[in-house]
Amino acid sequence: MSEQYPNYEDVFKAADDRYASLPYRRTGRSGLDLPALSLGLWQKFGADYAYDTQRDIILHAFDLGISHIDNANRYGPPHRAAERTLGRLLRRELAPYRHELVLSSKAGGVFGPNPNLRGGSRKALLSSLELSLRDLGTDYVDIFYHHTPDETTPLEETAGALATAVKAGKALYVGISNYRPDRAEAIARLLRAEGVPLLIHQPRYSLYDRSIDRNGLADLAVEEGFGLIVYSPLAQGLLTDKYLESIPDGARAQNSDFLKPDQIDETYRSRTAQLNKLAEGRGQSLAQLALQWVLRNPAVTSALIGVSSKEQLDHNLEALNGPEFTDEELAVIDEYGVHGTGQRS
């Protein structure tokens, strides 16, 4: 076999039983099933972390049945690096499995100084998609998202650009992220008129951020028939036991612009300690309790997690085997899982 056409099985052979245990859930009223836990490459999949570790995590996830990998043009650092990381794997180890993978990309978030490469314009979205396909080394993404609402661009233009991506065969489905319910409803209507239904919305959701339950987005998803894939279900690690005593070396609160040490204060620690005690009483960890809690919401299709090791991934998957919550336990969670704890909005 020449170098150009490797024998892929020598490079990586996925586990035969990869679909045996992780449950899949239907995405809204579409025909697409997503794993209950999906893997996001926002942090620690850029040029700042060892490629071998990134590779091991992604292949391990696939072996465990996590076929959905979430990405965006701006994930890194630097921007685009996480798509390049995944692209390296797609050219070799994961090349024979492209048809099984559900890959997403996003555009429209803050991205460089050029005014036309950010926001929800046709130019920003479709130019970015071209570059994502180039970096990923694939002809299409499965889900293409508008990443961040942009009230300065007509929603018709954004919907039209997303529909074009599908009609051009460069995306199979489209999604939105961080949209308020009124804008989500409006773009769902526009997309329907284009003949490209809104597949999914990607909002933040955790015990510490219950906005979607309060602002009507979860209800809207069910009514409109789109799925929800919820990000930061562990509140970036705040909903684990790692920060109860101190900030461990290498943890996100030490090395990320998005989670700062001052978010870990006494109020956070006292509430989290109570949740941790509850989790222990249920025979699970706080991370597992937090993931199980988001997945019990019937509007949620998948919980989108980040991990910095294979061990975290194995640990988090155990969330799917926890005992049902009792009403008393849910009341304790409501008391200590207080919206906004440790988080900046």
Ligand X SMILES: NC(=O)c1ccc[n+]([C@@H]2O[C@H](COP(=O)([O-])OP(=O)(O)OC[C@H]3O[C@@H](n4cnc5c(N)ncnc54)[C@H](OP(=O)(O)O)[C@@H]3O)[C@@H](O)[C@H]2O)c1
Which residues bind to ligand X, rule: CB under 6 A? 40-44, 70, 147, 177-178, 202, 231-237, 240, 242, 251-252, 287, 304-308, 312, 315-316
- State the minimum distance, in angstroms, from the CB of residue 112 to ligand X: 17
- State the minimum distance, in angstroms, from the CB of residue 244 to ligand X: 11
Burial grade of 241 (CB within 10 A; 0-12, 13-18, 19 or more): middle
- The C-alpha R_g of the chain, in whole angstroms, comes to 20
- State the minimum distance, in angstroms, from the CB of residue 281 to ligand X: 18
CB nearer ligand X, residue 59 or residue 235:
235
- State the minimum distance, in angstroms, from the CB of residue 82 to ligand X: 8
Contact indicator for 104, 145 with CB cutoff of 8 Å: yes
- State the minimum distance, in angstroms, from the CB of residue 8 to ligand X: 26
Q: CA–CA separation, 226 vs 341, rounded Å?
A: 28
Contact indicator for 300, 2 with CB cutoff of 8 Å: no
CB nearer ligand X, residue 170 or residue 252:
252
CB nearer ligand X, residue 13 or residue 283:
283
CB nearer ligand X, residue 106 or residue 170:
106
Q: CA–CA separation, 160 vs 148, rounded Å?
A: 16
Helix or strand holding residue 40 (H, E): strand 37-40
Strands (E), 162-278: 171-177, 198-202, 227-231
CB nearer ligand X, residue 158 or residue 312:
312
- State the minimum distance, in angstroms, from the CB of residue 121 to ligand X: 18
Q: DSSP 3-state assignment of 310?
A: helix
Query: Beta strand 68-70 with 102-107: parallel, antiparallel or unpaired?
Result: parallel
Q: DSSP 3-state assignment of 211?
A: helix
CB nearer ligand X, residue 193 or residue 311:
311
Helix or strand holding residue 146 (H, E): strand 141-146
